Amino acid sequence: MKPPLLSQRNKRHISSYLITVSFILFVAFLYGEDLSCILRLPFRSDHLSSSVPSPHHQQQQQQQQQQQQQGKWVYDEAARPLYQEEECPYIQPQLTCQEHGRPERRYQHWRWQPHGCSLPGYFNATFMLEKLRGKRMMFVGDSLNRGQFVSMVCLLHRIIPEDAKSIETNGSLTVFKAKEYNASIEFYWAPFLVESNSDDAVVHRISDRIVRAGSINKHARHWRGSTSSSSTPTSGG
């Protein structure tokens, strides 16, 4: 008698398990560090991403996020800073602290340390670019998000040849391209995400700010299709 064939469900479970194990081994080989934070992140396969997560799964995700959000800033002379100000031509002139005479540099050596786990102590630009291959990563918001965008570009641009990268600003949209990876890191100025009278990327210092609640389509068309996006609208500054 032939052994019974595996059901489709069992096959999917086995496939998901093998993919998960392969991913963990790959990341462990790449980083070679304490990956307790990464190993605690939930695995989401494409065929499950459209399903509605259970309340227990949502609670688990929330707890894992809180583990990384709850922590403290620690001083690290060895691993920080990840780049020097003079090494990155994309920092806005008004934000070049050392060029403007800031004497001490201790502010560059702080890193975030979660209470419940450890994060990799260094940044692997090649690994990040491979993850972004063929994709768009977008930061949306105000000057805070623009700073995050510039920091990401500063971390990545050093390993990209000059003729294989470009940066272009058109109105509210700034796009940095890594041509060999067919990848882009972008920033879109939308301080409140919805339409407002502070939408000009240059002239937006307005004392009485007005927003049009629900009018998100004007801006949303710019970040549709991006693989990942970061947005934390604050005061619109």
Looking at residue 32, its pLDDT comes to: 44
Looking at residue 199, its pLDDT comes to: 80
User: Strands 136-141 and 165-170: what pairing?
Assistant: unpaired
Cβ neighbours for 116, distance < 8 A, ≥ 6 positions apart:
67, 68, 70
User: Lowest-pLDDT range, 43-52, 109-118, 120-129, 190-199?
Assistant: 43-52
Confidence band, pLDDT 50/70/90 cuts, at residue 231: low
Confidence band, pLDDT 50/70/90 cuts, at residue 197: confident
The mean pLDDT value of the chain amounts to 76
89 preceded by a cis bond (ω within 30 of 0): no
The answer to whether the beta carbons of residues 36 and 117 sit under 8 Å apart is yes
CA atoms in the 13 A half-sphere facing the CB of 77: 0
Whether pLDDT at 56 is above 70: no
Mean pLDDT of 55-69: 65
Confidence band, pLDDT 50/70/90 cuts, at residue 60: low
Name which of 229, 135, 225, 223 is nearest 183 in CA terms: 135
Residues 155, 209: Cα–Cα separation, whole Å: 34
Whether pLDDT at 127 is above 90: yes
Q: Which residues of 209-232 are buried (b: 16+ CB within 10 A; e: fewer)?
A: eebeeeeeeebeebbeebeebebe
Mean pLDDT of 59-67: 63
Summarised one tens digit per residue, pLDDT across range 199-215 is 877 767 777 777 888 88
Looking at residue 31, its pLDDT comes to: 43
Summarised one tens digit per residue, pLDDT across range 72-93 is 999 998 888 888 888 999 998 8
| Domain locations along the chain | 12-41+58-122, 123-231
Summarised one tens digit per residue, pLDDT across range 8-37 is 444 444 445 444 444 444 444 444 444 444
Confidence band, pLDDT 50/70/90 cuts, at residue 6: very low
CB neighbours of residue 234 within 10 Å: 12
Whether pLDDT at 152 is above 60: yes
If one compares 16 and 62, the residue with the highest pLDDT of the two is 62
Whether pLDDT at 47 is above 50: no
